[in-house]
Amino acid sequence: MVANGLVHISGLLPILQDKTKLNDKSFEEQTVAVLHNLSGILKAAGTDPSRLVSCRVYIVDIEQWGAFNKL
């Protein structure tokens, strides 16, 4: 959703463009898919990740934060 020049994105899941669900894949594969989807949505809205103001991420296992930050 775009409102007043701001892009609002919510609820991204590890699902490929062809609708393949990656819930049985590794944390890293799922994260890459979600970040790729985020980037694609931002590009379609005429912007890119370098212009992000805020990004809220929910990770079930706190031990995965290091892997997430690397990606």
> Over the stretch 5-32, which tens digit does the pLDDT of each residue have?
899 999 999 999 999 999 999 999 999 9
- CATH number (domain holding residue 50): 3.30.1330.40
Does residue 28 contact residue 67 with C-beta atoms inside 8 Å?
yes
Range of 10's domain? 2-70
Averaged pLDDT, 27-45: 95
Say what the pTM is.
0.87
Q: Which SS3 state, helix, strand or coil, does residue 40 take?
A: helix
Structurally, the chain folds into a number of domains equal to 1
DSSP state of 18: T
Averaged pLDDT, 44-63: 93
